[in-house]
Amino acid sequence: RQRSVSWARRGVQETGCGLLEKLLSFINTKSEVNCVLAGYFSKIMQMLLEKRKLDMMCYLFTFKEHIGNLVFHGYNKSIADVTAKILSDEDRFITGTTGKEFYEEKSKLIELMLNKLEPTNSNEDIINNCFTLCNLIESKQQLTYLMSEPVLKRIFKIASAGNPVGLRGGLTYLITSMRTKITEKSSSKSPAFNFFSFREEPMEKITEEAPDLGPLIDISIEYFPYFKKYLEKATIGEKRPAQFGGDIIPLGFDKLKVIEWLGTLLKLKNEKVCKAMTELEIPKLFLTLVMMYETSSFLHVKITSIFLDCYDSGNELYIKAFTVECNIALLLLQLLAESKKGCYKSSGKPFKKPYYSLVTKLANAALNVARTN
């Protein structure tokens, strides 16, 4: 039987779907849903969205209360996966006016999800919505909106609210935004097979211009002082005994995420970012953190990568910021002196501290830069 977009929408509006209504009644509640049943609900909904994309999209965007229920129960990972499926890949079988309508409806759905990114909401709500939006950015959809100034301000607000989950989710969103490679929009139309009408017709893809990174950079610079204080603040919790004897201070995943975000910002090769970091002495802070968290291998690898990327960039401003401005020679000598003191295992045999290799790599890289410049 031949089917068209208009037929599917008219059929949904006039008759509805009794069995689908019964299925969706599972989330038509304000109380917490059963986690086990939510898993089965998610599997069925994702299968229907995979096999009957057109009908399901018409139904959900016609009876919009179901969209609101999906977002309301976003604290449940299984139900959040259904929302991600609705937003996921482009509707390659839906063209023309209806395709644009669905694009607008998806924009409204994203707005509902962004409204859930508030410090007062549960950690599950925040992290699930953040990662759903990250997947959307990776698929290069709604980029202009997701990287607009009002949305970025919301993300920074949740990341700086003092909630560790909000910080992880917010910074992951920002890192994903910067890492996404924006492709040039294509004006060409390619033939696509329409499953519902059994005929070939041109596919009208909704393309977007590459978003401006200016708002992201400006807002990031405003929050540099906050995140610098966050890195300088001692990790909450008691010192933990180390295998080689003595006590160590745990770094924590959150500080590692902040350093990853700062490193990704530097990869943009933006002079405003470099100048702001230099004024706040953030490059110097990186090496201070190495000395403070001497057993954190992940930290050492990330900071080594940041310095080497800046040296390899060939940018004079970057090279100066990470050599002369941060007084790298003195800091490396301090680190070298500390590393030679060594640590002691229970057997009493001394060995060099873990950041010894970091010192040698950075020292060799800095010398090579000095020779060539």
Neighbours of 190 (CB within 10 A): 8
Q: Which of 123-137, 139-153, 271-285, 343-357 has the lowest mean pLDDT?
A: 343-357
Helix axes 214-222, 149-159, angle to 10 degrees: 30
Q: What is the CA radius of gyration of the chain?
A: 26
**Alpha carbons 15 and 333: distance in angstroms, whole number:** 77
Bigger pLDDT: 130 vs 340: 130
69 token code pair: 């229920």
**Alpha carbons 173 and 86: distance in angstroms, whole number:** 19
Could you report the per-residue pLDDT of 61-120, keeping only the tens digit for each? 888 888 999 999 999 999 999 998 888 765 544 555 566 777 788 888 888 998 888 888
**Alpha carbons 31 and 70: distance in angstroms, whole number:** 13
**Alpha carbons 318 and 110: distance in angstroms, whole number:** 37
Query: Residue 290, SS3?
Result: helix
Question: Whole-number mean pLDDT of the chain?
Answer: 77
pLDDT at 205: 42
Closest Cα partner for 64 from 105, 104, 32?
105
Buried b / exposed e along 116-155 (16+ C-beta atoms within 10 A): bbeeebeeebbbbbbbbbbebbeeebbbebbbeeebbeeb
Q: Is the pLDDT of residue 261 over 80?
A: yes
**Alpha carbons 232 and 288: distance in angstroms, whole number:** 9
Could you report the per-residue pLDDT of 201-236, keeping only the tens digit for each? 333 444 455 567 888 999 999 999 999 999 888 654
Q: Is the pLDDT of residue 199 over 50?
A: no
